[in-house]
Structure 1
Amino acid sequence: MEKAVKNKVAKAVVPAIDVMFQALSEFGTKVVPPKKILKMLPELFDHPDQNVRASSKGLTLELCRWIGKDPVKSILFEKMRDTMKKELEAELANVSGLAKPTRKIRSEQEKELEEESVPETSGANTSEEAATDAPVEIDEYDLVDPVDILTPLEKSGFWDGVKATKWSERRDAVAELTKLGSAKKIAPGDFHEICRTLKKLITDVNLAVSVEATQAIGNLARGLRAQFSGNARMLLPVLLEKLKEKKPTMTEALSQTLQAMHKSGCFTLIDVIEDVRAAVKNKVPLVRSLTLTWVAFCIETSNKATVLKLHKEYVPICMECLNDGTPEVRDASFSVLTAIAKMVGMKPLERSLEKLDDVRKKKLSDMIGSSSDSVLSSGTAPITTSGAATSARGVADSMSMKRSAASMLSGKKPVQAAAATKKSGPSKSTAAKKTDGGSQSKASAALEIEDVEPAEMSFEEIEERLKSVVKAETISQLKSSVWKERLEAIGVLKQEVENLTELDKSAELLIRLLCAVPGWSEKNVQVQQQVIEVNTYIASTVNKFPKRCVVLCLLGVSERVADIKTRTSAMKCLTAFCEAVGPGFVFERLYKIMKEHKNPKVLSEGILWMVSAVEDFGISNLKLKDMIDFCKDTGLQSSAAVTRNATIKLIGMLHKFVGPDIKGFLSDVKPALLSALDTEYEKNPFEGAAAAAPKRTVRVLDTASSVSAGLFDGLPREDISAKITPTLLKNLGSPDWKVRLESIDAVTKIVEEANKRIQPTGTADLFSALRGRLYDSNKNLVMATLSTIGGLAYAMGPSVEKSSKGILADVLKCLGDNKKHMRECTLTALDSWIAAAQLDKMVPYIIVSLGDQKTGSEGRKDLFDWLSKHVSKMSDPSEALPLLKPSASSLMDKSSEVRKAAESFMNEILRICGQEVVGRNLKDLPSPTLAIVSERLKLSTVHEGFSESVKMVTTSMSLPSKAGLKNNKHGLNDRGSNVGKLVSQRGLPARASVTMVSTQDPAQSQALFNIKDSNKEERERRVLVRKFKFEEPRREQIDELKIDLFKHFREDVSLRLWNSDFKRQIDGIELLQKALPSSWKEVIELLDILLRWFVLRFCESNTTCLLKVLDFLPELFDILKDQSYMLTEAEAAIFLPCLIEKSGHNIEKVREKMGELIKQMINIYSLPKLIPYILEGLRSKNNRTRIECVDIVGYFIDHHGTEVG
């Protein structure tokens, strides 16, 4: 049969498959070894003949009846094309019931006759017959070939990696072993040294390394089975000892590995009795309880004979553990005793039960009673099964006619197959076509899918069918060995094709002709180009271009793309194919071609074409998950830099359509590639709806692609409903706070594993369970829940609004907490929610929260501040108008903070919607409230240019009028005079006026600084900085800095300072530098903002900008010294920790400038206060920082010895 299925003639292959199918269906896997069939099938799946492919599918379905669907899927599906997978998945739904052999070989028949001649004994024969009739269970392990993992492991640098000092290198080395060890069957070898190394790594100080090593052991146990026995015995004590680790990831990895060791037959519980005894006497209760839980699992998965041997050893251990002081250990011990009783009955426990008190006896008997009920219910299954099997056999015997493998397809019943066998083999397909009614409509869908693969057609047949379309002389010239004749002939053919009125009828035949003569192996470039142009013309002209034609041409065209001489015309041809059949189909076929092609240019140039195709057609017809997987597994893994760069461009183009969410799918890419991808993202910023409109359209919609694309908003979302188990939901309400926290963390982990892209399916119950945790007595759990809810909302997208069941109202109630950290967590959750569902959907919940007295003044103030930041981003700002009345009421709140925040928010709405609209919506307010609101709104228009969210400069603004200056002798308003008083209180001589510095641009008429409403003390209180120790600025701190910068600096300066281009930042510093001598008073008032901005520049890697800052700071400090100004504690806490930490810069010039700056600090900050900051630098992880700090301390001792002491 093996030789027959390799025959070149398809008519010989189909009967060979039918013979194997018949033998398998009648004799079963005991006689016909499935392993050999599984090896033959992959080649048959890609056979050019449609009947062969259909028969191979039928044979696969028959295999599923005998050995199960899962083994067949895992062994064969990875070797199939996607189309074949879909077809088989649909057919597998029709496979049901148990397969039983209907015939026996002669030796078995003789044995049966002998048994019949012996008189029956009481019941013995019945059980034997049942045993022989029982289906033979096939282990997938026996079906696959062993894989050698030792050789590739040596090449991967495993031994160097596990000895590395960096934990990440150790983890990656073990991860490679885990990956290789995931093979279903591992070839035997010397794994002793590897296991000794893993034994050390289990106890590694880094948790990630330890988890990875544990998982690797589990994989080796599954792949080696009995061959791993000795090593498993060596590793078991360490694994049991490691159960003391409380981290869920570690506990889960250990449990799975220990279970795998036992299930794989590495040892039995009898073999490891001493290790278990030692573990249940461990000082850590967690080790004792989890060891017993594992023992219970092992007993449940063992057979009765094994349990009969071991119960004498384990029952005393469990009885002793029933007296343990930890409830978990006692419960686990009860579980072991229950498992033993379930397997072998109550007899082994009778004596032990006498020693127990009544309470424990009752508990144990209850547990055993409930488990025995389940045993009884499950025990009825074999009886039913055997009955069904007997009846199935009877049906099979009555229909022992020959069937073909193809008869398994399209859900045909055996009766139909039997009827079809009255005709000869080849006529079966025609009989199927003649069936009418519903079966015909069902089969048509399958035929459409199969239509993608082109059937064989001889050249003589093509020539015969094209007689009326193409001249015989043209075809004969296309065969010529003289290239000029071929060129002339292809030119003539092109004219003939262009003159055809009904091109659709002949399109496929013409494509087949060109594939045959001159064919894709044509060497002459001119002829090649003409062939491609004819293909392009046909694809772009016909009404419906068959996908079979694309399959015929795609390999040849992709190879022409790799050739620079034919690249342009080949790329046009591919684009024409996309317009004809959809880019989804073309891309899917190209992935396989490009992966397997030996020419690297086919891959690199093909990917570059994909970049332009995505730009032209958009992503609506593409399966993004497949494309991302292709980019990760093939493009970015390529050894050729050209291919990697092309792949980066393709991912960058995807970013333009789907946005930053694509980064979640690429988090495991190498850091160097991630950096290159970030650069590419900047070149292709997310355009959203603007990018979605395609430049080119598909003439015939690819329904499969469009449907799949329509399910998702861009990137695929994962269905997590299977992971939201009843246990998880139950644990969210557990009385143990640790269990509740672990469950909340488990939800977060599920979301992260789905790349933060999930479907709403099955999440309604999860939101209900999380709602209860928002009222948890443990505040840390509430904050964790808020973070998880925010993550769920962001991952779910717009559909969260319907699935969340109004949980947003409960989230907003957390703003009433008096702890600031709790309110910050709530606002962070709201940020995630608004990113998913937009603010206009949240407005009804916010109105209720603003009117709720339990929200509290601090909560309302925070909510108004949050609204001010987000209201301008609403899709329709007018939808924020319902918030006006709650805001107006808050203008009369007893808290000044709430009044101020509400006023700021109303200014935002006024700016966005206009005074007329706002007035119309507030006219029915009570008179006192309306009067206050009107007054505030009039005041707000004066300062509209300096609102936090407003653009900083409007051309309508002008300098104060002369009349205004006359009213105030020094040209200052009340707030300006307050600033003067404030500055004088800080040790500076007060001046009569505040200098208004204009920029060098004469068109600018506004002051460089705006110190109105500055309130420096309030800012310093708001910016919480850890004293002495440096911490990187947090996101919220950066956002606050941006607001303050745009509020108090002129627009052109702010835009320069907050620009991502370092050149623009330098321009901003130069503007400040020029204004410094004449505007020292404003600079002092806004010094904390400047220092926070300098800290940001210190934390970035741009050296040019950093050097400019270091040139500016000495001038600034000299000005402060001249004015006898001393830094406040808050200003020092903002700036000094960063300056000290960064003084160990890797560039010598920067280090020198920072050292001089620290020495200059004593002019504006007392040395005794400065020294603690420098001493903190001695604890830095950066060696150069510590050296610099020691040098500076030495300098200060030399020059200011007494003060340092």
Structure 2
Amino acid sequence: MDKIQVCFLHAIFLSKIKESADNVELAGGKKGGAEKVKPGSKAQPQSEAPAKLSRPPKKAPVSKDVSVAKKGKPGAAGGPGAKSKKPGETKEIVETELSVEVCDELAAAVLPASCVKMLDSSNWKERLASMEEFYKVVEQMDISEMPCQALVRMLAKKPGWKETNFQVMQLKLQVVAVVAQRGRFSKTSASVVLDALVEKVGDVKCGGKAKDALTAIGEACSLSWISEQVVSLAFAQKNPKNQAETLNWLANAMKEFGFTGINVKAFINHVKTALGASNPAIRTAAISLLGTMYLYMGASLRMFFEDEKAALLAQIDTEFDKMQGQTPPTPTRGSTKRTGGQEEGEESKEQEEEGSAGDIMDFLPRTDISDKITEDMVSKVGDKNWKIRKEGLNEVAAVLSEAKFIKPSLGDLPITLKGRLTDSNKILVLQTLSIMQQMATAMGPSLKQHVKTLGIPVITVLGDIKNTVRAAAMATLNSWVEQTGMKEWLEGEELSEELKRENPFLRQEVLGWLAVHLPTMRSVPSDLMLCVPPLFGCLEDRNVDVRKRAQDALPVFMMHLGFDKMNKATGKLKPASKDQVVAMLDKARAVMPAKSAGPAKAAPTMPVASVPPAKALAALSKTQAPIEDSAVAEPKADPKKVKPGALPAKGKAVAGKKPLGKGKEEEGKSGPIFTLVPNGKDLRVKDEKSLKVLKWNFGSPRDEYVEQLKVQMAPCVAKWLQEELFSHDFQHHIKAINSMIEVRPYAYIDFQH
């Protein structure tokens, strides 16, 4: 080799030494450099150590873990509530495993010599002093110079994780947490300490610090990854205390991090093992974890445990019942926290407002059952013989039960099931509703594609005359909305067409359902405007319950559509109807809830309790045995009691009579002469207290009292009748009174209000 080649290699070697030495921090926090290191000085061995990493196997990991610059304030992450990485920085850090020798050299380059020396001292006080100094250094270390893997490996130096002094052990666990919070902490670094952390989770004095360290690693490496590792390690150790506390930590971590990315399938077997444990603490922790998971997964979670013993399943159901109505807490850790300053995407907003499970349910393993939905099965479901139809429905239910979680491919089954919703045999209707609830749980958010074909027809069932059938239909409808959200149900004209049906049961149920769900939405499709005309029609419905539901729904419609749009829509109404509807709109505007403020205070409870179809079917089966289609008779309507504002058949006829004789003068006098104004008396009393109206207190009526009475009577008395009552001709008064006497048995009910 000639002199030129030797000089060239020598220059490369020196440049490598200088490059590595520039990244070394000497004891005391001073920067080192090849040109500043004097021969024979104490710093020389430390500056030479990283030069060994210039060899191919060692160079890459050092550059990824040590030399990547990152800004950070010293000491900013030392506290329990300290923020870790930059907002929005979620890119995974990749790192190869380093040898023990390399880790020792890297750690020695950033830790004081006295700290390294006393780590394995036989005197616990010296070990404690060493860890205190260790903790102080990593808390103040420049993030760009923190060799995470090397530092956590140093903690395993004898006695390592077998440390008997709890104060020293607590500091070791705190160091892990700080390094994970502040450094570029990788899964490789995490793997070095996870086993030791899980061993300490159940420790009385150190368990809390161990959980804090696991949480910090979860923020650095994602909860979805660390949770699988931790649970697997805990159940491999066979330590009951550690297993129970690991499950408790995971339940709390899910609330802090959220559920996104969690691999449900990875936990199910471990949770089942925990449920079968002899230690009661493990079983309790497992059930508590299931309760937390239920907040995110809903009823779908139960399907994994339907094969458990009845007593255990009852405990699980009790825990799920506790979670009913609760919403998952807002995540405070992980990627959600790191991107907290950024705006959410429109898609995520829609998912949140619809209340659907979103991509959480996508992590469930799903089965394609399209090949099991055979032509023979579909043919049976649509057969003319009710017994064969029932047999086909049983086969469908069995396929769904076996698959548990399914893909949305169902072939021709949805169209065939739609026909069973109008089956003349009510038992088969209830069975179909039960199957549809199974579908909702099994299919999850993918159910959206079946809303128009199979979901909307459930609304028609809400008009059934039987309470049990309506209750089962409402339970099915709510189970679908839980998975799909409301958006798909409001798009198009299908819902408005249902409201146009002059069926009091259907109108009550649908309006009550909308009054509950609309306030929970941030925005609605423009097609909701199509429901306004039938809503106005419901305000004048003959059934008092329909009118009440329509009045309750007005404010929540208005919160999305606005007063101006709804007021403009009254232009197509008849003059008499328009005046009444406009008055109700003015009243609704005063109680209109704010958007995204949750369910409106005035939102009614559902007209009938939602009863699962299976229970309704069991109740109906006791009174109605399966019979041939030809023998199935539609049940007769229950006798209706007279309600305020709802005139019976006789009353309607009398109210619609032309009471003042015959001829042209009677034109325009058809229809009811009285109209119920909701809470009319209460509003009048309120106006009197606020001095908005004259009190009814006088010796002889003056003109202002007469005009006020006209205004107060206008909304509740037919126009022609009011003209007769306020006529200057006494004979007209007599005619008006005679007309009221004819409907007296029913009219007095209205006047009570």
Q: What's the TM-score bracket when you normalise by the shorter of the two chains?
A: 0.5 to 0.7
Report the CA distance between 1:833 and its aligned residue: 3.7
For residue 547 of structure 1, report the CA deviation from its aligned partner: 0.9
Asked if the contact 1:764–1:805 (Cα under 8 Å) also holds between the matched residues in 2, the reply is no
Amino acid at match of 1:571: K
Deviations 1:810-850 (A, max 9, x none): 44555677777766655554444444445554343122234
Secondary structure at the aligned position of 2:214 is classed as helix
Q: Is it true that 1:802 corresponds to 2:457 in the alignment?
A: no
2:548 aligned to which of 895, 904, 907: 904
Partner of 1:196: none
Q: Which runs of 5+ in 2 are unaligned?
A: 1-55, 61-90, 340-347, 349-356, 593-599, 607-677, 700-712, 714-745
Question: Shift in Å at residue 942 of structure 1?
Answer: 14
Counterpart CA distance in 2 for 1:815 and 1:698 is 41
CA–CA separation in structure 2 for the residues paired with 1:752 and 1:888: 44
1:510 matches 2:151 = yes
> Please, which of 120, 123, 126 is the counterpart of residue 479 of structure 1?
120
In structure 1, distance between residues paired with 2:445 and 2:483 = 5
Match of 2:329 among 691, 694, 707: 691
**In structure 1, what residue type is equivalent to 2:255?**
E
Q: Quick one: which of 220, 229, 238 aligns to 1:580?
A: 220
Show CA shifts across 1:205-227 (max 9, x none): xxxxxxxxxxxxxxxxxxxxxxx
1:561 and 2:201 are equivalent in the alignment: yes
Q: How much identity, in percent, do the aligned residues show?
A: 25
Which amino acid letter does the alignment assign opposite residue 921 of structure 1?
A
Q: Distance in 1 between matches of 2:143 and 2:473?
A: 67
> 1:920: how far off?
3.0
Partner of 1:1004: none
How far apart are the structure 2 equivalents of 1:622 and 1:823?
A: 37
TM-score between the two structures when normalised by the length of structure 2: 0.56
Conservation of the 8 A alpha-carbon contact between 1:594 and 1:603: yes
Q: Judging changes above 3 Å, is the alpha-carbon distance between structure 1 residues 581 and 750 closer, same or farther for their aligned structure 2 residues? A: same
The superposition leaves residues 5-50 of structure 1 with CA deviations (integer Å, 9 ceiling, x where unpaired) of xxxxxxxxxxxxxxxxxxxxxxxxxxxxxxxxxxxxxxxxxxxxxx
Indicate conservation of the 8 Å contact 2:555/2:591, yes or no: no
Q: For 1:549-575, what per-residue CA distance to the aligned partner results, in whole angstroms no more than 9, with x for missing partners?
A: 212211111222222222232222111
Structure 2 CA distance for partners of 1:515 and 1:739, relative to 1, 3 Å: farther
Local SS of the residue matching 1:515: coil
1:719–1:758 contact (8 Å) kept in structure 2 = yes
What is the Cα deviation at residue 612 of structure 1? 2.7
Q: Give the AA of the match of 1:716.
A: L
1:839-866 deviation line (CA, Å, top 9, x unaligned): 5543431222344xxx5x4xx2111110
Q: Does 1:601 align with 2:601?
A: no
Task: Determine if contact 1:637/1:644 at 8 Å carries over to the other structure.
Answer: yes
1:743 to 372, 379, 392: 392
Distance 2:167 2:384 in 1: 79
- Which secondary structure state, in structure 2, belongs to the residue aligned with residue 484 of structure 1? helix
* Aligned CA distance change for structure 1 residues 888 and 594 (closer, same or farther; 3 Å): same
Residues 599 and 496 (structure 1), Cα distance of their counterparts in 2 relative to 1, 3 Å cut? same
The 1:802–1:963 alpha-carbon spacing in structure 2 relative to 1, beyond 3 Å, is: same
Equivalent-residue separation in structure 2 for 1:463 and 1:735 (angstroms): 81
Cα deviation digits, residues 589-629 of structure 1 (max 9, x gap): 11122112243221122223223322221222322343344
Q: Separation in 2 of the partners of 1:508 and 1:943?
A: 61
Distance 1:536 1:605 in 2: 18
Higher RCO structure (Cα 8 Å, ≥6 apart): 2
Matches within 5 A, 1:717-728: 718-721=366-369, 724-727=372-375, 728=377
Amino acid aligned to 1:631:
V
The DSSP-based 3-state class of the residue aligned with 2:329 is helix
**Following TM superposition, by how much is the alpha carbon of 1:683 offset from its aligned partner in structure 2, in angstroms?**
5.9
Counterpart-to-counterpart distance in 2, 1:651 and 1:624: 11
Residue 533 of structure 1, aligned match among 155, 171, 174: 174
> C-alpha distance in 1, partners of 2:221/2:310?
38
Distance 2:591 2:192 in 1: 70
Mapped to 2, the partners of 1:498 and 1:850 lie a distance apart of: 65
Contact 1:625 1:716 in 2 (8 A): yes
Match of residue 229 from structure 2: 589
Distance 1:943-1:751 versus aligned 2 partners, 3 A rule: same
- Which residue type is aligned with residue 693 of structure 1? P
What does 1:374-413 correspond to in 2, within 5 Å? none
Equivalent residue for 2:418, pick from 744, 762, 771: 771
Verify: 1:849 aligned to 2:492, yes or no: no
In structure 2, give the amino acid aligned to 1:615. Answer: K
Higher helix share: 1
Matched, 1:633 2:273: yes
Asked if the contact 1:724/1:766 (under 8 Å) is kept, the reply is no
Deviation at 1:461, TM superposition (A): 5.2
Separation of aligned partners in 1, 2:387 and 2:95: 56
Partner in structure 2 of residue 998 of structure 1: none
CA distance in 2, matches of 1:499, 1:943: 56
Question: How far apart in 1 are the matches of 2:582 and 2:479?
Answer: 35
Task: Tell me: CA distance 1:487–1:791, structure 2 relative to 1, closer, same or farther (3 Å).
Answer: closer
Question: Does structure 1 retain, via aligned residues, the 8 Å contact 2:169–2:206?
Answer: yes
In the alignment, what sits opposite 2:533? 885
Q: What are the equivalent positions in structure 2 for 1:406-555 lying under 5 Å apart?
A: 457=99, 459-460=100-101, 462-464=103-105, 466=107, 468-470=109-111, 474-498=115-139, 500-501=141-142, 506-543=147-184, 545-555=185-195
SS across alignment from 1:621: coil
* Deviation, structure 1 residue 522: 2.1
Task: Give the drift of 1:588.
Answer: 0.7
Segment of structure 1 superposing worse, 507-516 or 489-498? 489-498
* TM-aligned CA deviation for residue 739 of structure 1: 4.2
- 1:67-89 Cα distance to aligned partner (Å, 9 max, x none): xxxxxxxxxxxxxxxxxxxxxxx
With over 3 angstroms needed to count, the CA separation of the structure-2 counterparts of 1:796 and 1:964, relative to structure 1, is farther
Q: Aligned pair 1:654/2:293, yes or no?
A: yes
> Separation in 1 of the partners of 2:180 and 2:380?
59
- Is the partner of 2:234 in helix, strand or coil? helix
CA contact (8 A) 1:608 1:650 kept: yes
Structure-to-structure mapping, 1:86-485, within 5 angstroms: 457=99, 459-460=100-101, 462-464=103-105, 466=107, 468-470=109-111, 474-485=115-126
1:949 pairs, out of 604, 609, 625, with 604
In the alignment, is the contact (CA less than 8 A) between 2:92 and 2:186 conserved in 1?
A: no
Inter-partner Cα distance in structure 2 for 1:957 and 1:558:
69
1:788 aligns with 2:429: no
SS of residue paired to 1:520: helix
Which of these two proteins has the greater Rg computed from alpha carbons? 1
With over 3 angstroms needed to count, the CA separation of the structure-2 counterparts of 1:916 and 1:648, relative to structure 1, is same
Q: Output aligned runs, 1:997-1016, within 5 Å.
A: none
- Provide closer, same or farther for how the CA distance between residues 627 and 958 of structure 1 changes in structure 2, counting only shifts above 3 A: farther
Superposition pairs for residues 945-1094 of structure 1, below 5 Å?
949=604
Judging changes above 3 Å, is the alpha-carbon distance between structure 1 residues 644 and 787 closer, same or farther for their aligned structure 2 residues? closer
- In structure 2, how many angstroms separate the alpha carbons of the residues matched to 1:525 and 1:936? 71
| 1:654 partner letter | M
Determine the C-alpha separation between the residues in 2 that align with 1:460 and 1:946: 68
Give 1:659 deviation, angstroms: 4.3
Letter in 2 for 1:861: P
Is 2:250 the counterpart of 1:610?
A: yes
Question: Are the equivalent residues in 2 in contact too, given 1:479–1:518 (CA < 8 A)?
Answer: yes
Task: Specify the code of the residue in structure 2 equivalent to 1:862.
Answer: F
Using the TM superposition, give the Cα deviation of residue 872 of structure 1 relative to its aligned residue in structure 2, in angstroms: 1.6
- TM-score, length of structure 1 as denominator length: 0.36
Query: 1:462: how far off?
Result: 4.1
Letter paired with 2:329: A
Q: Secondary structure at the match of 1:908?
A: helix
| Cα distance in 2, alignment partners of residues 950 and 817 from structure 1 | 19
- CA distance in 2 between counterparts of 1:832 and 1:529 reads 48
Q: How many residues align?
A: 505
Q: CA deviation at 1:530?
A: 2.7
